[in-house]
Amino acid sequence: MKLTREARSIAVVINTGSRKGAAARKLVTQSLEEAQLPVSAVYTVDGGGDLGRTLELAVTDGHDLVLVGGGDGTVASAAGLVAGTDVVLGVLPLGTANDLARTLEIPQDLSGACAAFAEGKVVDIDLGRANGQPFLNVASAGLSVAVTEALSPRLKRLIGPLAYGVATLRSYAKHRPFHARLEFPEGDHEPVELEDLLQVAVGNGRYYGGGNAVSPTAGIDDHTLDIYAILAAPLREQAKIARSLKNGKFVENERVYHLTSRSVRLVTTPPLPVNLDGEIATSTPTDFTVERNAVHVVVPENSTSATFEGRS
């Protein structure tokens, strides 16, 4: 475990296209200055193709700590770039859901997050991959993709995390069930055929969708993926499942198929787009894997979300 204050050079990358990003630069730089952290460079980008190039520049420019402000999709992109290196990633919660910050027990307000980093520690977390693309929280196909498409920037700015509930209700009414086959390359489970599905999700972290838990035991450093499939059901039963999303106990419902593995292949009929941490980034068939202890991240000193083990 290292301390944040040992960082020699800190870069800050702010996605001004995120919900809180446009107004964040001044507050972030002031908060880091008050915390006596040595910021060497500040990059701002308004999403799009420039985001990847800016993140890559920040990571490869010799900084040993890169603080990334944006939504979970932005942070996952940065995690994919620093995976397997000694560069440490920090999460500035500027998105709508900020589920990774919630998993890592980072304060949801910017000044609180920056203050926590001042005395923070470095831990290792796992990185999920879907057809090679990185994700930190959850990858999914089915209803969640329609929800992502319904989450307009205006809706997120107006009502914040409540936008997820509104988008879900809109998407549920239009959903068409699908078929899925789950295959397990390591042979730890037999292949599974599932009909009449609402959603299939593969979780690497603990939280997703604005504070829903992947499962009661899910963690971002447990070196496994939580896989669950929700079967279509009458609205009354779906409401029952929805009520237990926050604590993850929905996986105990008889309409939910749940297991864990280090890798899984998802094949759907028809082929479907796949949502990675709020970004539609690939499609089925999809190969999911987990990279153990792939990313160094800074968390508050009292966070119990992960430990520093080193790679193996």
Tokens of 84: 């397997």
Separation of alpha carbons 17 and 275, rounded Å:
19
Work out whether strand 178-183 and strand 263-269 pair parallel, antiparallel, or are unpaired: antiparallel
Most distant CA pair in the chain: distance in Å? Answer: 57
- For residue 131, the SS3 value is coil
Work out whether strand 65-70 and strand 10-15 pair parallel, antiparallel, or are unpaired: parallel
- For residue 59, the SS3 value is helix
The size of the chain, in residues, is: 312
Separation of alpha carbons 83 and 55, rounded Å:
13
Is residue 279 among the annotated active site residues? yes
Tokens of 63: 């900084």
Catalytic residue, chosen from 105, 149, 183, 279, is 279
Neighbouring residues of 158: CB distance < 8 A, sequence distance ≥ 6: none
Distance set, CA 32 to CA 4, 29, 38, 92 (Å): 12, 5, 8, 11
**Amino acid found at 235:** L
- For residue 129, the SS3 value is strand
Write phi, then psi, for 281 (nearest 5 degrees).
-125, -15
With contact defined as beta carbons under 8 Å apart, do 220 and 155 qualify? no
Separation of alpha carbons 236 and 223, rounded Å:
35
Angle between helices 162-172 and 143-150 (to 10 degrees): 120
Q: Which residues are catalytic?
A: 279
